[in-house]
Amino acid sequence: MKLTKRTVWTGGIVVAAVVVAFLLLSSVKDQLTVHLVDWNKKPVSASVTVQETRLYPVLGSMKFLPQWARVSTRTNDVNAMDGILKVRRVKKAGNDT
């Protein structure tokens, strides 16, 4: 079988399409759904501030650095009109949540 430029390009495109499809299908959304309810278990509309703090990959393990140099903090203000709020799940090795 003779390999031509066209055959190589076609094979490369097919391999790239398979890889992209696999990555898109295997990605799991790491989100938690939080339901805001009152004492009667009815949805509550509220303004919520979500603060996410994560360690930087290399700097986070250096205990001699101050806290502000080891972590990144993101703050997000959300208006939960129907009492449902989605937040990113924070994972750690050996932790299920």
Q: What is the 3-state secondary structure (H, E, C) of the chain?
A: CCCCHHHHHHHHHHHHHHHHHHHHHHCCCCEEEEECECCCCCECCEEEEEEEEEECCCHHHCCCCCHHHHEEEEEEEEEECCCEEEEECCCCCCCCC
Predicted confidence (pLDDT) per residue in 14-62, tens digit: 888 888 887 777 666 677 888 899 889 888 888 989 888 888 878 877 8
Q: What is the pLDDT of residue 94?
A: 44
Q: What is the pLDDT of residue 87?
A: 82
Whether 75 shows a pLDDT value over 50: the answer reads yes
Q: What is the pLDDT of residue 27?
A: 60
